Amino acid sequence: LQKSLNEIFGADKYSRARKEVLTYMFSRPMQMALYFCTGVMEDETLFRHYALNVPFYTHFTSPIRRYADIIVHRLLSASLGASSPIKMEKEDIQRQAEHCNDRKMASKRVQELSGDLFFSIFVRVR
């Protein structure tokens, strides 16, 4: 998809703007990744990463960014024997994951609405 888009953008002064708008429009409907505790999920097909085509996948970034990443770092460290196990039941971890998902979705929705608002203002002014 990205290769096809790159081929149709052209090289005029609006090509970059077309690329940004189309990329945004194509990526917007993609399903957002969700945090979950594998210990409470029975269907292992839910662990799959569709785009990477791998059966088991976890994602995390620097633990200074998000609370969910702190949890993943702590669980990974404990599973490798580098630290003691965390003192949370799997149901508590799942509740934290659901809370992180709720906050992430709310943030994304506000971001989308903000973009829509500023685009509307831009169109009105132009």
Q: What is the pLDDT of residues 33-86, one digit of tens each?
A: 788 888 888 888 878 777 778 888 887 787 777 888 888 889 889 999 999 998
User: Is the separation of the CB atoms in 78 and 84 below 8 Å?
Assistant: yes
Does this model's pTM top 0.75? no
The answer to whether residues 78 and 115 belong to one domain is yes
The answer to whether residues 51 and 21 belong to one domain is no
The answer to whether residues 22 and 46 belong to one domain is no
Res 126 pLDDT > 90: no
The answer to whether residues 104 and 61 belong to one domain is yes
Confidence category of residue 91, pLDDT binned at 50, 70, 90: very high
Q: Is 36 helix (H, G, I), strand (E, B) or coil?
A: coil
The answer to whether residues 43 and 25 belong to one domain is no
The answer to whether residues 41 and 73 belong to one domain is yes
The answer to whether residues 94 and 53 belong to one domain is yes
Best CA proximity match to 25, nearest among 124, 98, 120, 116? 116
The answer to whether residues 52 and 103 belong to one domain is yes
The answer to whether residues 87 and 70 belong to one domain is yes
Cα gap 36→32, rounded to integer Å? 13
How many separate domains does the chain show?
2
Say which DSSP state 32 is in: P
User: Is the separation of the CB atoms in 90 and 37 below 8 Å?
Assistant: yes
The answer to whether residues 41 and 91 belong to one domain is yes
By percentage, how much of the chain surpasses pLDDT 90? Answer: 25
Task: Give the range of the structural domain holding residue 5, as residue numbers without chain letter.
Answer: 1-30
The answer to whether residues 100 and 112 belong to one domain is yes
